[in-house]
Amino acid sequence: MKTLTVVVPVVASLLVAPLSPGGSDARILVATGTFAGDGTLVAMERATPWNVVTVATLDSMDAAVQSFNGLIFVVEPDTDRVRVFDGTLAEIRSFSVGEGTRPRDILGVARNRAYVTRANSTHLYRVDPQTGVGADVVDLSGLAGHDGIPDMERMATDGSRLFVQLRRFADGLPTADGALAVIDLETETLIDAVPATPEIDAIELTGPAPRLRMHVDPGAAFLLVSATDGNHLSLGGGIEFIDLASLSSAGLLLNEMELAALGGFAMTGPAEGYFVFHTDIVPSNHLQTFTIPGGAELGPEIVFDFGAYLDALLFDSDTSLLYMPSAAPGMYVVDTTTETALTKEPIPLPAFPFDQTIGPVGHRYDLTGDDVVDFVDLLTLIAAWGACPTPCPPTCVADIAAAGGPGADCVVDFGDLLLLLANWGS
C-alpha cells in the first residue's frame, strides 16, 4: 500500500471554486433517502434559522444533485432519469438516459451540453440539458473489469479534460481495481494515461473503487478522490492524490490502514480541508480537519455522529460554512474559520442526506446562459414569441413564467418580456 508524502504549493486562490451560482441568491439542495428505497429533495437556507422546505419526492434513495446553468439537476438511478428544477424549485422537465442504465452523476460543460455517467452502461452519455436529447459518446468498455462494465460513478473536470470514476464491480461488489478514465472534451475521446503501453489506459488507483465527489486544484495540478469503496470493514483505501501533469496516482494522502474507514472529504483552502471517518461496531461519522503540505497532518475532531454511514460533505466558500450529514437525520453546520459546529443538534431533515450542492434562487432570466440578462436574451425571447410547443414548459425556455411563477400560460408574451426587462443586467 503506497502512502503519500508530498509538498503541495499554496496558491492564492481557494482550491475549490464557489459552486454555481454562489452569492446571496443561493440555497443548499439536499437529496435525502430512506432504506426503503425512496427519498426527498429539500432546500435549506444558508443562514440561521436554516429553514428547510420540501421540493419533491424522489424515487431513489441515493439520488445525486447538481446545479449549473441556473438550474438544479437530480439524478435518480432507480428510474433511469434526470429531473430538472429551476430557481423557484419548480420541476420544469425530466428525461430518460436509457432504460436500466442507472445514472449516477451529471456534469454540465455548456448551456446545451452535459455528461451523464451510468453504472449499467459501457458508454458515457452526452445530453442537451435544455431538451433532454442525448446519445452515447465515449465507449469505456476497454477500461472495464472482467464483466465489460466499467461501473461509472462521479465526475470532475480540469480544463478540457473530464475525469470519470470507474468502480469496476465484480458480481455486484466493488473490487480493488479502482480507476479514473480521462476524456478529452473537445474531441470526446479517451486520453491515454500510460502512453508507453499499446492500449489506452485509465489512471489506476492505489485504493479500491472510487466514489463521492472529487476535488480538482488546477493551480497546483492535482486531484483528490475518495478511493474507499464504501466497505467499512475492508480498510484498503483512502483519500488518493492524483498528479494531473503525469496523469498518475501519487498514493494515498489519508490511509485507512493508519486511520479508520474513510469516506467523504471537502477542501476549504489550498492545502486544508475536512474528512469523515467511520467506526464499524456502531455506525458513526466523525468530522476531522487535515492539512496537506508535506503530507497529511491531522487536526481536531469537530463533530461526532452515529446511526448510519454518511459522507456527503459540502463546503460553501461564500460563507466559510461546511455542511455535514447526520443520521438523526439532519445536517450539522460547521464554521470553518473557528472550527466549531454552529448547531448543537443537527438541523432536522426528512431522511438521510446522501448528496448536496448549492443551487440558485429565483427565476432563470438569463435565457442564453452567458451569466447576464442582455440583448441576446431579449432576441431569444422575441424569436420564441407566441404559443409554446408541447409539451410545455419543458420545450419553452423563453416562457419565463412557466418556471412556476404567476402567469404560467405556456405562451411567450408581454408578461415574460416584463420579467426579463425587470432583471436586465443581472
How many Å apart are CA 85 and CA 357, to the nearest integer? 13
* All cell numbers assigned to 421: 426587462
In this structure, what DSSP letter does residue 170 have? B
Tell me the per-residue pLDDT of 90-112, one tens digit each, with 9 for 90 and over.
Answer: 898 999 999 999 999 999 999 88
How many Å apart are CA 386 and CA 229, to the nearest integer? 52
Report, in this order, helix, strand and coil percent for the chain, each rounded to 5: 5, 45, 50
pTM, entire model: 0.84
Query: Regarding the domain with residue range 26-211+296-360, which homologous superfamily does it belong to in the CATH classification?
Result: YVTN repeat-like/Quinoprotein amine dehydrogenase (2.130.10.10)
In this structure, what DSSP letter does residue 388 have? P
How many Å apart are CA 90 and CA 360, to the nearest integer? 12
How many Å apart are CA 21 and CA 42, to the nearest integer? 17
Task: Please check the confidence at residue 402 and state whether its pLDDT lies above 60.
Answer: no
CA distances from 358 to 29, 86, 213 (A): 6, 13, 14
Give the pLDDT of residue 88.
Answer: 81
- Across the range 389-413, mean pLDDT stands at 64
How many Å apart are CA 154 and CA 65, to the nearest integer? 11
Q: Give pairs for 241-246: CB < 8 Å, separation 24+.
A: 241/4, 241/6, 242/163, 242/180, 242/203, 244/158, 244/216, 244/218, 245/221
Task: Please check the confidence at residue 370 and state whether its pLDDT lies above 80.
Answer: no
Tell me the per-residue pLDDT of 62-101, one tens digit each, with 9 for 90 and over.
Answer: 999 999 988 999 999 999 999 999 888 989 899 999 999 9
Mean predicted lDDT score pLDDT of the chain:
88
* For residue 329, cis peptide bond before it (omega within 30 degrees of 0): yes
Q: Which residues contact 85 (CB under 8 A, 6 or more apart)?
A: 41, 55, 56, 71, 72, 73, 74, 91, 92, 359
- Residue type at 223? L
In this structure, what DSSP letter does residue 166 have? E
Give the pLDDT of residue 3.
Answer: 53
- Specify which residues 359 forms β-bridges with: 27
Listed by start position, the domains of the chain span 26-211+296-360, 375-422
| Residue found by looking up cell 451569466 in the block | 371
How many Å apart are CA 206 and CA 4, to the nearest integer? 10
Give the pLDDT of residue 11.
Answer: 36
Other Cβ atoms less than 10 A from the Cβ of 111: the count is 19
Phi, psi of 211 (to 5 degrees): -160, 175
